[in-house]
Amino acid sequence: MNEDIKLTYHVTTFGCQMNAHDSEKLRGVLEAEGYVETDSERADIVIYNTCTIRENADQKIYGRLGRLNNYKKSNPDMIIGLCGCMMQQKEVAEKIKNSYPFVDLVFGTHNISDFKNLLNRVTESRKRVFEFGSEDNSDLYEGLPTKRKYSFKSGVNIMYGCNNFCTYCIVPYVRGREYSRLPNDILEEVKRLADDGVIEIMLLGQNVNSYGKTLDEPVSFAKLLSDVCRVPGIERVRFMTSHPKDLSDELIDVMAGEEKVCRHLHLPVQSGSTAILKKMNRIYTKESYLALEEKIRSRIPDMALTTDIIVGFPGETDADFEETIDVCRKVEYDSAFTFIYSPRTGTPAAKMPDKVPDEVCHERFDRLLKLVQDKAAIRAKLIEGATLPVLIEDKNREEGLVTGRLSNNSTVHLPGDESLIGQIVDVNLKECRGFYYFGEMV
Ligand code: 5AD
Ligand code: SF4
């Protein structure tokens, strides 16, 4: 590439933390190739790293592609690339191939390690490239350059894929089989990041609690977590996502005993009805979930608990939904992501009978949302007035303010300047404003 003409790129990420982390690799490769990042999608190369968890995730991508096409009309050399979970589905890739001729590059979730070559094939030939590889190149992926969004915090993949096959979920089909990285490789990566100034690590996997079970020398997630806390320079450790069926007492012990483990546990319940949980293939009951939650809250009272809930799963009756309401009343989540069930082609639930009518779904959704918001507001108020450590992450849009996070993942705004970014400072949480706090450094 001609060094004098700096071509620009933009990567837009949809979906979860895993995708956000993959996007850092895409950026790393683009930077290494000499492209320069720009804030706008009016760039020479635009990559959409897509999500397909629900139907509306797909719709969002199709909607935005029209806009990219318009940008391309004023910059015909522009390269438009699509990757991520949505592209891993054959019918989607076909549709893009046939109906979106302005898209130059499409690749799957297992092809990120080959991104550089794929991109070069497009730039050199100006032909469209579609590539979907197999699952066996994860090790190559680890060696890719990375451009982190934040200098002081980073995600680290500890495992790939998912073997749970919850009946509503498309992830096992698009992300492939579960595969754990070796503990030493993970720890080496964490050490490198710490040497590079990272103080907060987010360990990433679809189901971190089953980490290490299939390794030749099995190792538990709890052991890995405590080893990560031992890495010099690391101040905070988070992890995402936990499946209630695999959450061990050993892990609760590590979380309770290790101050560096953040006071936030995301523990998706999905439904409060044991009958629906069975149809979802979640392998726990309402009672066992509540018992687990009680065990965690009694051992670690300041642990924020958050969850994911699906309403309107096929066959969900009013009585089933009341069980979900009951769980939310009892647990009082610090926050909850609520979703209306969205059938995904190829998953078992998409073929299940007794679809719940849209109006019923929306009524239930609204009722649930009101309850989780009310409970979250009560929980948030509990620490108003306390002084707690905050990792300052960003400048605020409002002049003279910065924004950071508590160990429990809540957001705090406070007076301060850019020099604080990346530091952990003690902040008095003067005022709880619904879901965030306004504070002052002490
Ligand atoms: N419909 C609605 N919500 C879903 N989720 C996963 N699959 C679906 C689906 N088909 C939700 C689950 C999961 C979160 C990431 O997305 O609650 O935990
Ligand atoms: Fe979306 Fe799931 Fe893929 Fe994450 S793993 S991007 S939530 S489909």
Note the ligand closest to the C-alpha atom of 344.
1
Task: Return left, alpha or beta for 269; rule: phi > 0 is left, psi -120 to 50 is alpha, else beta.
Answer: alpha
| 242 CA distance to ligand 1 middle (Å) | 14
Q: In whole numbers, what is the pLDDT of the chain averaged over residues? A: 95
Confidence of residue 407 (pLDDT cuts 50, 70, 90): very high
* Predicted confidence (pLDDT) at residue 1 exceeds the cutoff of 70: no
Q: What is the pLDDT of residue 5?
A: 74
Ligand 1 binding residues, C-beta < 6 A: 53-54, 168-169, 268, 270, 308, 310, 339, 341-342, 344
- Residue at 283: amino acid letter: I
Note the ligand closest to the C-alpha atom of 282.
1
Q: ∠ CA(66), CA(49), CA(140), 5° rounding? A: 145
Q: Are 238 and 245 in contact (CB under 8 A)?
A: no
* Predicted confidence (pLDDT) at residue 139 exceeds the cutoff of 80: no
- Taking the CA atoms of 139, 47, 16 and 439 in sequence, report the sign of the dihedral they define: positive
The answer for residues whose C-beta is within 8 angstroms of residue 426's C-beta and 6 or more apart is 387, 388, 389, 390, 441, 442
* pTM for this predicted structure: 0.94
Least Cα distance to 332 among 361, 369, 305, 310 occurs for 305
The separation between CA 366 and the C-alpha centre of its own chain, rounded to angstroms, equals: 24
Torsion of CA 225, 227, 232, 235, to 10 degrees: 20
> What pLDDT digit, counting tens, does each position of 30-82 carry?
999 999 999 999 999 999 999 999 999 999 999 999 999 999 999 999 999 99
> What pLDDT digit, counting tens, does each position of 219-261 carry?
999 999 999 999 999 999 999 999 999 899 999 999 999 999 9
More confident residue, 134 or 155: 155
Q: What is the pLDDT of residue 79?
A: 97
- Which phi and psi angles does 379 have, rounded to 5°? -65, -45
Which residue of 166, 241, 243, 308 sits with most ligand 1 atoms within 8 Å of its CB, as the best mutation to test the pocket?
A: 308
Least Cα distance to 23 among 40, 39, 6, 47 occurs for 47
Q: Are 40 and 74 in contact (CB under 8 A)?
A: no
| Beta-strand relationship, 424-433 and 387-395 | antiparallel
The answer for residues whose C-beta is within 8 angstroms of residue 351's C-beta and 6 or more apart is none
* Predicted confidence (pLDDT) at residue 297 exceeds the cutoff of 90: yes
Average pLDDT over residues 363-382: 97
* Percentage of the chain modeled with pLDDT above 90: 93
Q: Which residue's CA is the closest to the ligand 2 atom numbered 5?
A: 171
**What CA–CA distance (Å, rounded) separates 62 from 233?**
43
Q: Tell whether ligand 2 has an atom less than 6 A from the beta carbon of residue 13.
A: no
**What CA–CA distance (Å, rounded) separates 305 from 269?**
11
| 208 CA distance to ligand 1 middle (Å) | 17
Q: What is the pLDDT of residue 142?
A: 80
| Largest interatomic CA distance in the chain | 67
Looking from the CA of 425 toward its CB, the CA atoms found within 13 Å total 23
Q: What is the pLDDT of residue 296?
A: 97
Q: Tell whether ligand 2 has an atom less than 6 A from the beta carbon of residue 390.
A: no
Atom in ligand 2 nearest the alpha carbon of residue 14: 6
Q: Which residue's CA is the closest to the ligand 1 atom numbered 17?
A: 308
Note the ligand closest to the C-alpha atom of 267.
1
| 310 CA distance to ligand 1 middle (Å) | 6
Average pLDDT over residues 403-430: 98
- Give the H/E segment covering residue 300: none
